[in-house]
Amino acid sequence: MTQTGRTVDEVAVAPDDVTSVEPRTSHSWWRLTVLGIGALVFVFPFYYMIIGSLQKNQNTSLSGVVPQPGNITLRNYGEINAALNLGKTLINSGVFTGGVLLATVVFGVLAGYALAQLRFRGRGLLFVSMLLLLMVPFQLLIIPLYVLIVRYYGLGDSYLGMIAPFAINSTAVFIFRQYFLQLPKELFDAARIDGANEFRILTRIALPLVRPALLTAMLLTFIGPWNEYLWPFLITKQQSMQPLAVALANYMNTVQSTVSNPFGTILAGAVVLAVPAVALFLAFQRYFVAPNIGSAVKG
């Protein structure tokens, strides 16, 4: 996975708007041409993935690009299900992703709120640590994390071990903080005068105001563990514990010669792996676009 996950990139996201476009918009034909070609290049592999997953016999020639009525089958899906137990691996992916989402939403919101609105000793240190965490890619720490989680904590082949290094997505904490920071201070002071405690202020006042940010952060958090390969690959060796991405990659590396259309079977698995993330993205597209990079890179 090339998503850097914890880097400073995927930061505060604001609704996209088309207000300040380049003024000379008359000749949109070149735009459409460029975009059309671009879109084709981007979408073709997805189309080809589906076509390939339905082929009875692997067809890598040009004619294979168009579905051939005589060469269509759903058998590849059956084969991959028999080989990987899709239900179980999807549940594993779901538990892994769900655990990360839950921890991020609960603890990340608390931390983001504290970093934005509360004054306490250690806040500066916490903030700097968060920035450091955003910059140091997780992959560079796989060896000590492996030692720690598999050896010291004995969490190999367990959900907890899978979730732990991702538990609180720092990018999400950063987004939460940026949004809480934008809320007017007076709002909170007024509530405090009324005697509300901080937890109540957070849940009753602050959270409802940043609901779009919450959704954005959750979507961002979702694609991390759902698509993650390296870490769960390292710590889950029992297939019954492997998320779909790991089980599929292992399948790609090993047992493929035992089925009649190995690539079709792999692609069927790829379709099953891709669909949830793509569907979620399409459904919530609105919240998923135009990162307001100002906050991250300006300065």
Partner 1 sequence: MKLRAIVVGALTLSMGLAACGSGAAPSSTKGATLSYGPISIWYSNNAQEITWGEQEVAAWNTLHPTQKVTGQQIPASQSSEEVISAAITAGSEPCLIYNTAPAAVPDFQQAGGLVPLNDFPGAVSYIQTRTGSLASMYKSPDGQYYQMPWKSNPVVIFYNKTEFAKAGISTTNPPLSTYSEFLATAQKLVSSGAAKYAIYPSPSSEFYESWYDFYPLYAAESGGKLLVENGKATFDSPAGQAVAAFWAQLYKENLAGTATVTGDTFADGTAAMAIVGPWAIADYQGKEGSPAVDYGVAPLPTSKGNTSYTIPTFSDAKNIGMYASCKNRGTAWDFLKFTTSASADGKLLTLTGQMPMRQGLQKAYASYFTANPDYTDFAVESAHVIECPNVPNSIQVWQDFRDDWSKSVIFGTSSPNAALASAASAINKLVSSSSSLP
Partner 2 sequence: MPEVPPLEAELQLATRGSEMKLEAELPPGTGESRGTRLARAVLGPQPIGMAFGAPYALFIAVLFAYPLGLAVWISFHSYFFTAPGVSVARPFVGLANYVAVLTDSEVLRSFLNILIFLVINVPLTVALSLLLATALNAAIPFRALFRACFYVPYVTASVAMVAVWLFMFNTGGVVDSVLGPVAPVPSWLVNQNWAMPSIAIYVTWKQLGFFILLYLAALQNVPKELYEAASIDGASWWHRLWSVTIPGVRTVTTLITLLAIIVGANLFTEPYLLTAGGGPNGTSASPVLLMYQIGIEQNHPDFASALGVILVIGVLLIVGVQRLLQRNQT
Contacts (CB under 8 A) with partner 2, residues 177-216: 178, 181-182, 189, 192-193, 197-199, 202
Candidates 170, 178, 180, 181; CA nearest to 132 is 170
Q: Of residues 82-111, which lie at the interface with partner 2 (CB under 8 A)?
A: 106-108, 110-111
Helix axes 123-135, 109-117, angle to 10 degrees: 130
Cα(63)–Cα(277) distance, integer angstroms: 30
- Cβ 258 to partner 1, closest distance in Å? 8
Exposed e or buried b per residue across 130-160, where buried means at least 16 C-beta atoms within 10 angstroms of its C-beta: beebbeeebeeeeeebbeebbeeeebbebbe
261 interface partner picked from partner 2, partner 1, none, CB below 5 to 8 A per type: partner 1
Integer Cα distance of 141 and 181 in angstroms: 31
Sign of CA dihedral 272, 277, 280, 283: negative
Which of 25, 70, 186, 238 is the binder for partner 2 (CB under 8 A)?
Answer: 25
> Residue 16 interacts with partner 2 (CB under 8 A)?
yes
Q: Which amino acid is at 62?
A: L
DSSP state of 205: I
Decide whether 88 or 133 has the Cβ nearer to partner 2. Answer: 133
How many residues in the chain?
299
Phi, psi of 72 (to 5 degrees): -110, 135
Q: At closest approach, how far in Å is the CB of 39 from partner 1? A: 30
Q: How many residues bind partner 2 (CB under 8 A)?
A: 133
The residue range among 33-41, 67-75, 82-90, 94-102 that interacts with partner 2, by the rule CB under 8 A, is 33-41
Q: Within 132-191, which residues bind partner 1 (CB under 8 A)?
A: 150-151, 154, 156-157
Does 78 sit near partner 2 (CB under 8 A)? Answer: no
Q: Which of 256, 280, 292, 293 touches partner 1 (CB under 8 A)? A: 256
Residues between 116 and 145 that touch partner 2 (CB under 8 A): 118-124, 126-133, 135-137, 139-145
Q: How many Cβ atoms from other residues are within 10 Å of residue 117's Cβ? A: 18
How many secondary structure helices (H) and strands (E) does the chain include?
A: 16, 0
- Nearer to partner 1 by Cβ, of 255 and 279: the residue is 255
Q: How many CB atoms lie under 10 A from the CB of residue 181?
A: 15
CA-only gyration radius of the chain, Å: 23
**What residues from 46 to 105 belong to the interface with partner 1 (CB under 8 A)?**
57
Point out which residues pair with 72 in neighbouring strands: 55
Distance of closest approach, residue 239 Cβ to partner 1, in angstroms: 6
Partner whose footprint covers residue 74, from partner 1, partner 2, none (CB < 5 to 8 Å by kind): none
Shortest distance (Å) from residue 53 CB to partner 1: 16
Please identify which residue in 33, 139, 203, 258 interacts with partner 1, judged by CB under 8 A: 258
**142 contact, one of partner 2, partner 1, none, CB 5-8 Å limit per kind:** partner 2
b/e per residue 244-260 (b: at least 16 CB within 10 A) = bbbbbbbbeeeeeeebe
What residue ranges bind partner 1 (CB under 8 A)?
57, 150-151, 154, 156-157, 234, 237-239, 247, 250-251, 253-258, 260-263
